[in-house]
Structure 1
């Protein structure tokens, strides 16, 4: 079984979006990566077997046709109280899970086999997964920006998490940090 990896881009002050969900240019590095960032992206993409995200992240992506050319061609498990009236455009496979993050992660692990499950969308889902002890590794790509009144990734965790640094890659656009969650 692969790892459960929280993988998000955030600002220097810990925000994954602006106060109204706008990304504030956080993901620009991913869509036009430098050679070094491209290497990191390819390495991470090769390891992904399934993704877990929240309904707000899904709805934002669907409303912008963000799944039409989705680079993550794996099954996506969406933590949600229901299913959308219309499916998102594109070829991405979605499973809507209404019984919590534990169930979503468990289903994603079954789908991923030996590959990683990536928690890839929404600070609330990330926080729930961390609080439930489901995350094995945290990967954050830190962009050199500060976002005022943004949505913070590491709020509402409940307890202190102990991390072990397992990797750092610095580029002018973003610094990639990798941590093992010490359990």
Structure 2
């Protein structure tokens, strides 16, 4: 049965999944890039972008797990690009260039219609205007029995958690304090929603925590 998974979601020690003042120059907010230090040096991450080398340690094992059995993705609009409001300029096709790292159908949550975009490597972006449940239904159908990965950002993950739709979430808690930005769990009672920690592993660059829904 297909699951909805959050994988490789980096958090600061004080619970922020992105820093403040996100823009084109700082897509993860000020200080946000430091959250992902655990991932960028891994063999898995480098392989996604066609580069050789990289570590093969515990961080890499969690990064590799995040791509296993994924048949579709769901993204919030901010994860697709910095543009707000109607799509006045449709030349923007995502942060990742002509060959994004997804290689499966990707469903982007938005309030504004846009025709699908076919990219290199098997990625097609579909734009869903009728909410998180519709996006999950479409992504699950496209995944054809495989899992759906919820890529974020923070606000999107929060919406799915509040609806108890996420089956599993892997967080990498980085040794970074951001002080402000987008907080993941504010106002969300995870135990009340049926979520419990099932795994935790510490490395020099992150503490990996897996939370599953009962």
TM-score range, shorter chain: 0.7 to 0.9
Provide the TM-score with structure 2 as the length reference.
0.75
- In our comparison, the structure showing a higher alpha carbon Rg is 2
Paired residue total: 182
CA distance in structure 2 between the partners assigned to 1:86 and 1:94 by the alignment: 5
CA distance in structure 1 between the partners assigned to 2:70 and 2:105 by the alignment: 10
Map 1:23-62 to 2 at 5 A: 23-33=32-42, 34-36=55-57, 37-60=59-82
Q: Equivalent residue for 1:5?
A: 5
Unaligned residue ranges in structure 1 (runs of 5+) = none
More strand by percentage: 1
CA distance in structure 1 between the partners assigned to 2:61 and 2:189 by the alignment: 35
Provide the TM-score with structure 1 as the length reference.
0.86
Are 1:127 and 1:155, in contact at CA under 8 Å, matched by a contact in 2? no
Query: CA 1:48–1:93 in 2, change beyond 3 Å: closer, same or farther?
Result: same
RMSD of equivalent CA atoms: 2.6
**Aligned match of 2:101 in 48, 71, 84?**
71
Are 1:51 and 1:76, in contact at CA under 8 Å, matched by a contact in 2? yes
Query: CA 1:64–1:120 in 2, change beyond 3 Å: closer, same or farther?
Result: closer
Deviations 1:149-182 (A, max 9, x none): 1111113437743322222222111121111122
Unaligned residue ranges in structure 2 (runs of 5+) = 23-28, 43-54, 84-91
